[in-house]
Amino acid sequence: MRTAFIQRDTNETKICVAIALDKAPLPKESDFLDEVITSKHANQKGEQTIQVDTGIGFLDHMYHALAKHSGWSLRLYSRGDLVIDDHHTAEDTAIALGAAFKKAMGNFAGVKRFGHAYCPLDEALSRAVVDLSGRPYSVIDLGLKREKIGELSCEMVPHLLNSFATSAGITLHVSCLYGNNDHHRTESAFKSFAVALRTATALTESKEVPSTKGVL
Ligand SMILES: [Mn+2]
């Protein structure tokens, strides 16, 4: 069962993340979040349960899209120092989510390892390429022009994708190739990341770790 539950508490943010791949049930320790997360905008139950509440609406929207198109169930709850700005919450939720993903993936045995995807959103098109390499690295080029989308600073979008890649120990390249609308550019980037991850994490028939080194 590729699932994980983690809590990450600092003076800046308090975060709980539960993740389940492969349509597995979410870890029971996260059930209390069902009572806590009452917002409607990133909250769905069906084949996938996805409940996200970071206190930043557009960030919830992006994590919702990431979970949905990666095929995850996800509960992510954060309360942070938004009275300062969005920086710690955006960064720390990405670190926590990356750590939960890494924990759920275990030793990365029997996965495809590589994945890539192009996803459009209307006029915008993004490309993501993922290698579950164990080598944290990212190249993110989104070309966002606005200062903010909702309450999320545009400068935090590449930073949080980098934070996820570092924490998860994956190599991630995401580019928005074109598009006029920054909401569309960002959402197409998250969707392409999700679809690439879904391919990379897909299970093969093998029980081996897909590396010439034998470990990832
Ligand atoms: Mn949208």
pLDDT, residue 23, reads 86
Residue-wise pLDDT for 118-159, tens only, equals: 999 999 999 999 999 999 999 999 999 999 999 999 999 999
Residue-wise pLDDT for 18-49, tens only, equals: 999 998 899 999 999 999 999 889 999 999 99
| Cα R_g (the chain), whole angstroms | 16
CATH architecture of the domain with range 3-105: 2-Layer Sandwich (3.30)
Q: Could you tell me if 130 and 104 are in contact, meaning their C-beta atoms sit under 8 angstroms apart?
A: no
Q: How far is the CA of 153 from the centre of ligand 1 (A)?
A: 16
Q: Could you tell me if 96 and 8 are in contact, meaning their C-beta atoms sit under 8 angstroms apart?
A: yes
Taking the model in full, what pTM does it have? 0.97
Q: How far is the CA of 58 from the centre of ligand 1 (A)?
A: 8
136: nearest Cα among 187, 189, 98, 96: 98
CATH number for domain 114-201, candidates 3.40.50.620, 2.70.98.60, 3.40.630.30, 3.30.230.40: 3.30.230.40
Write the CA distances from 211 to 37, 111, 215, integer angstroms: 40, 10, 6
**pLDDT tier at 215, thresholds 50, 70, 90:** confident
Domain ranges (residues) in the chain: 3-105, 114-201
- Residue 185, pLDDT > 90, answer yes
Residue-wise pLDDT for 55-114, tens only, equals: 999 999 999 999 999 999 999 999 999 999 999 999 999 999 999 999 999 999 999 999
Q: How far is the CA of 5 from the centre of ligand 1 (A)?
A: 27
C-alpha torsion angle, residues 110, 111, 114, 116 (rounded to 10): 150
Q: How far is the CA of 135 from the centre of ligand 1 (A)?
A: 31
Cα angle, residue 125 at apex, residues 142 and 179 outer, rounded to 5° = 70
Average pLDDT over residues 2-10: 97
**pLDDT tier at 213, thresholds 50, 70, 90:** confident
pLDDT, residue 216, reads 85
Average pLDDT over residues 177-188: 98
pLDDT, residue 214, reads 85
Q: How far is the CA of 23 from the centre of ligand 1 (A)?
A: 24
163: nearest Cα among 210, 95, 108, 109: 95
Residue-wise pLDDT for 189-206, tens only, equals: 999 999 999 999 999 988
